[in-house]
Structure 1
Amino acid sequence: MIRVALADDQAMIRAGLRMVLETEPDLQVVAEAADGADALAVTRRARPDVVLLDIAMPRLDGLAAARQIAALPAPPRIIMLTTFDSDDNLYAALRAGASGFLLKVSPPEQLVTAIRVVAGGAALLDPAVTTRVIAAFAHQPAPQPPPELAQLTPRELDVLRLLARGLSNSEIADHLTLGEATVKTHVARVLMKLGLRDRVQAVVYAYENGVIRVGG
């Protein structure tokens, strides 16, 4: 059972989310919060596996709450929900520790999938905004490679580049003529060596640090 906490300042939104999630046999809503401060409190108390956080909330907004929740011991996975799809919100959410980013207009089945994906240790972005993660780095000057990249083997660097282009493990395996289990191991080692939480952070890291350039 995946335990979920809901944080949104609009009671009707929370009720709608609860209605969607409680129809799924493997999802359980264990807590609700009307602002970011309450979200932090209920996360500490209820220990959910996944927290759905609205970005725009009173007292403590969703981004600030995400940073504090991500800093907790054994933190839950975080999915940011917003009616806005601005680049600033997207990057701020990723850097705050979110593993997912969804627009509130996303269909219910996409929300359910996102919860299952992030609860399983992966990451997910709304398809409507994913391409902008890449496009935002198109005209930035190439940065100096950070020292931790030297820890990666040539094969792990290949995997990181393909991962950053959005390829799945099976697609990376086909591209590099490797077994999918081997690719999964390489991905895990890349994340560990670079201190990254998941694939979304790896994508942002790769573009921010010049591992891959748009069109490259």
Structure 2
Amino acid sequence: MPAVLIIEDHEIVAYSLATIVEDHFPDSNIKLASTFLQGIDIINSGFLTELIILDMEIPGGESYAMVGRLKALQPEVKILVYTGHDEDKHAFSFLSAGANGFLSKNSPMDQVDFAIKQVLSGKTYMTERVQQQVAESFFNKTAGRTSTEPATLSPREMEVLDLLLEGKWIKEIALELNLKLTTVSTYKTRIFEKMKVSNIIDLYKKVRLY
């Protein structure tokens, strides 16, 4: 029974999101906030939420800083940014700030449904378009690095990297690539070492810099 906080000032959009959550989690505890500060007040009142669906342009909002502020109050909360703005310009910044997913309001309902379930299950949600941008950014800028920069990844490590950036778990990557769990874990460790990071969020930030 997930607790969900929807911070969205458009009433129709907010109720549509609430309906999607209720369809899959009938016993869910859902609260709505029409401003960012109202959302903060709900959390400060003691509402322990597992998922926040956050409108990027919410009144009183603070752009990327909203993610950090919300996670400072509840570090384990998952945040899905839901916006009418172009994901090309904003997705990386929100994901780097700690958001667990970024979704356009122009997405079809089945994609909204999938994104909510993906984030609630502990995965990171990105559209194929954003995934492609992340991969291209990395591939296009790995050449010509100095000795102080991360070592080049092998082709197989690149495959694992792409799947990690999609938010897939070790077991899912093993099945998709037909590898043992221990082998995938080893690849993940090597990627983190070469990229000089210790978690997925830092990996996003590192790839974004390339």
Counterpart of 2:198 in structure 1 is 195
Contact 1:52-1:79 at 8 Å conserved across structures: yes
SS at match of 1:124: coil
Aligned residues: 202
Where does the alignment leave 5 or more consecutive residues of structure 2 unmatched?
Answer: none
Give the corresponding residue for 1:165. 162
Q: Is the 8 A contact 1:159 1:172 kept in 2?
A: no
* Equivalent residue, structure 2, for 1:5: 5
1:18 match: secondary structure:
helix
Structure 1 residues 53, 77: closer, same or farther in 2, change over 3 A?
Answer: same
Q: Structure 1 length as normaliser, TM-score?
A: 0.72
1:72-107 Cα shifts (integer Å, max 9, x gaps): 343301111111224331122112211111111222
TM-score, scaled to structure 2: 0.74
Once the 2 structures are TM-superposed, how far is the Cα of residue 70 of structure 1 from its aligned partner? 2.3
Q: Which moves more between the two structures, 69-78 or 178-187?
A: 178-187
Who is 1:212 aligned against? none
Instruction: Point out where structure 1 has 5 or more consecutive residues left out of the alignment.
Output: 210-216
- Identity of counterpart residues, as a percentage? 23
Residues 5 and 32 in structure 2, CA contact (< 8 A), matched pair in contact too: yes
Q: CA deviation at 1:182?
A: 4.7
How much does 1:158 deviate? 7.5
CA RMSD of aligned residues (A): 3.7
Rounded to whole Å, the distance in 1 between the matches of 2:186 and 2:73 is: 27
Between 1:162-171 and 1:28-37, the stretch displaced more is 162-171
Q: Describe the SS at the equivalent of 2:30.
A: strand
- CA positional deviation for 1:159: 6.9
Q: 1:57 — aligned with what? A: 58
Give the Å deviation of 1:21: 1.7
- Residues 4/119 of structure 1: CA separation in 2 closer, same or farther (3 Å cut): same
Structure 1 residue 206: Cα displacement: 3.5
